[in-house]
Amino acid sequence: MIASLPMYDRPETAPIIDQLWSEIRTRLGGDAPAHLTRGASLWDQWGSPDLVLSQTCGYPYRARLRDRVQLVATPDNRLPGCPPGHYNSVFVCRADDPRMTLAEFAEAPFAFSEPLSQSGWGAPQNHAADLGFAFSNDIYTSAHVQSARAVTEGRADIACIDALSLRLILRHDPHASALREIARTRPTPAPPFITGPSQDAGVIRAALSGAIDALTPEAQDTIGLFGLADVPEADYLGVPNPAPPSDPLSRV
């Protein structure tokens, strides 16, 4: 069996994520794996018939996974301006950049984490479309933390980073002090917890909810997970898919 919690897993959060999984496993028993899978292909994990629990992004869920997995629940991350079960993305540039509006960055080097990232690609392009333009000079970085670093180091001028990832980046990465927030996208459903098609999603939801409640408030704050919400599948599927990146294999 396979379990992973990859979305906000970094050295500073890993001990609490492991603690969370230990609490989940205690409640599940049976064949639940002793340890979380790290480092393997996320697509292989998410598509495995042996998947007990993982977390994906809303864009991969609606684009590729909806018929291969079950929704378990949606996290409540207590993000400002977002209702429970929702998140948004934050546009950031260098603090010394004189540009003040998103439209001024339309042709600037735009760092994005993944072509199927809701927060890194889908949300910013949908937001830009509402304003009448598109980010056209896109650069693939493979991770939000790398997008932030690309901006601070001058290899890109702007990036869009999900609000919880940015909270962790600002908390733990010294270079992030060189970033400035420009704007935020509207909220969309947060990255969902999923399980394989043969699992009992209700049992797994109960174990996950109990495990979150077992964490101390300090531990919950460390990983930005305070509870669960139930967001209908239709809300995930109702988010539009933007045009793909011009060259998703170009990197900085």
pLDDT in tens, 148-175: 999 999 999 999 999 999 999 999 999 9
**What residue ranges of the chain are covered by domains with CATH 3.40.190.10?**
86-187
pLDDT in tens, 185-212: 999 999 999 999 999 999 999 999 999 9
Which pLDDT score is estimated for 93? 98
* CATH code of the domain occupying 2-78+189-237: 3.40.190.180
Q: How far apart are CA 50 and CA 48, in angstroms?
A: 5
Which pLDDT score is estimated for 29? 87
The mean pLDDT of the chain is: 96
CATH for 86-187 (1.10.10.410, 3.90.180.10, 3.40.50.620, 3.40.190.10): 3.40.190.10
DSSP string of 105-140, one letter each residue: GTTSEEEES-TT-IIIIIHHHHHHHHTT----EEEE
How many residues in total does the chain contain? 252
Which pLDDT score is estimated for 252? 46
pLDDT in tens, 47-67: 999 999 999 999 999 999 999
In this predicted structure, the answer to whether residue 32 has a pLDDT above a threshold of 70 is yes
* pLDDT bracket for residue 30 (50, 70, 90): confident
Percent of the chain past pLDDT 90, that is, above it, reads 95
Q: Mean of the pLDDT values across residues 228-240?
A: 97
Q: How far apart are CA 20 and CA 104, in angstroms?
A: 43
CB within 8 Å of 226: residues ≥ 6 apart:
76, 77, 78, 212, 220
Which pLDDT score is estimated for 178? 97
pLDDT in tens, 72-102: 999 999 999 999 999 999 999 999 999 999 9
* pLDDT bracket for residue 247 (50, 70, 90): low
Q: How far apart are CA 140 and CA 249, in angstroms?
A: 7
Percent of the chain past pLDDT 70, that is, above it, reads 98
**What residue ranges of the chain are covered by domains with CATH 3.40.190.180?**
2-78+189-237
Amino acid identity at 209: S
DSSP letter, residue 10: -
Contact in structure between 190 and 75 (CB atoms under 8 Å): yes
In this predicted structure, the answer to whether residue 250 has a pLDDT above a threshold of 70 is no
Amino acid identity at 161: I
Q: SS3 breakdown of the chain: % helix, strand, coil, rounded to 5?
A: 40, 20, 40
Our measurement of the distance from residue 1's CA atom to the centroid of its chain's CA atoms, rounded to an integer in Å, reads 23
